[in-house]
Amino acid sequence: MNYKLDTNKLIILLIVLFTVIIYFLGFYFREISNGAGHTDLQLHIWPLINDFKNNYFDTLENYLSYREATFPFFHTLQSTFNPFVSHYIYFCLSNTIFNLFILLIFFHFLKKKNIFSVNNLTCLYLIPFIFLISPWFRSSSYWGMTENLSLFFLIPSCYYLSKLIEKKDDNLSNFLLIIFISLTLYSRQQFIWLALSHIFILLLNKDFKKLFHSLIIYLIFSLPGLYVYNLWNVFENVGNATSASDYISLDNILINIPKISIMILFCLIPLFFLNFSKLYNLIKTKNFLLIFSFFIILEYFLFKDLKYPYMGGGYLIKFNKLFFNENIFFIIVLSSFFFALLYSSRKFLNLSYYIILISIFLIIGLPIYIYQEWFDPIYLIILYILMPSSKIINMNLIKSSSIYFLFVWEFIILVIAIFYYHFYLKIPFFYSF
């Protein structure tokens, strides 16, 4: 028994060492596994950080001219507190190292879920290292992008939101939830679905007193943002809220439904493998086939003439372009399968999780361009932190074999991403400017 325990610890140690080594090797080779990290840094982020450092308020006033689509929270923190901004490579290295603290935060809140028994406790230490082989986490770290900053606050936001959903919260946890959601929003604005979910869940629970207090606190924390919006004349021209306003429209919500659904479906593929027998028993039923057929007919009627832009879309959109010549029926079938699964599993989850999902479709669906990095490695946070403990266990997510599978799955995605961008699109290694 002792020998087996030592062997398991050795395997985990080797996996950790492997992920850390290839993480820093990716930085050394200047890996670009999300397709645009280098240009985002060169054209938007790096000029902003330097200009913020030289003249903060003039740069803030003219922020939209830099064509950076996110709020200037990340850039402000970097220009103010990062001592390694003398050269972009030092800046990138500092972020590559600093983002390792996200693993500690994830570990801390994962531990607070109390889902690991003594027998598989060592697996708890392994799960956070999956982040290090996510192509989008890596590229954001290597190229000093804004995405990873939001993960520092998204993790505790999901933890306290799960407490609210399971009705294990109190006034303190609700206050902390508002703080972390506000910081997440300042980091990446598409996470407004968190605030919407929080408000609608309070309405669902008919907790009007807590809702009123929450709205007041949200208003207080929004004051810096409102000040900046006033500086940008947003209240006269709402298009000034972001340089990406030309790409945002309510009309996009409908046409992005298939795209968002298959991006979520792609993130759920590991769950399908880990729960194959359950999935098979579900989809072989006559009822499921009828629901699946209904959604195919509905989506074909709605989306048969739909074409997506070249940029963004994630793995399955790119797969469709490469192998099926952008056949929309491929997208419709996958999207319909997702909604058929969602409908058939409606008794599995609390209604609050469906509120969250609807909020995601509403907010993420606004822009023309949608990216896989908005879902990966975020799906790990959703599965392990936001989901209730009983469901995490029921979905076989705490077994050693399952965690090893997630590593293999994410590693395959990484290899494909590196091949696609560096060898198929021929983006060079060791990119510099």
Q: How far apart are CA 127 and CA 413, in angstroms?
A: 17
pLDDT of residue 416: 93
Q: Look at residue 216 in the predicted model and tell me its pLDDT.
A: 97
Mean pLDDT, the chain, rounded, equals: 92
pLDDT at site 161: 97
What's residue 37's pLDDT?
87
Side chain identity at residue 38, one-letter code: H
Which residues are registered as beta bridge partners of 367?
A: 248
Provide the β-strand partners of residue 248.
Answer: 367
| Cα-based angle 86, 92, 93 (whole degrees, multiple of 5) | 95
Global pTM value: 0.94
Q: What is the pLDDT of residues 336-391, one digit of tens each?
A: 999 999 999 888 888 999 999 999 999 999 988 888 889 999 999 999 999 999 99
CA atoms of 340 and 338, how far apart (whole Å): 5
What is the band of 1 on the pLDDT scale with cuts at 50, 70, 90?
Answer: very low
AA identity, residue 390:
S
List helix spans (H) across 232-327: 251-255, 257-274, 276-283, 286-303, 314-323
> Residue 129 burial by CB count (10 A; 0-12/13-18/19+): exposed, middle or buried?
buried
Residue 201's pLDDT is what? 97
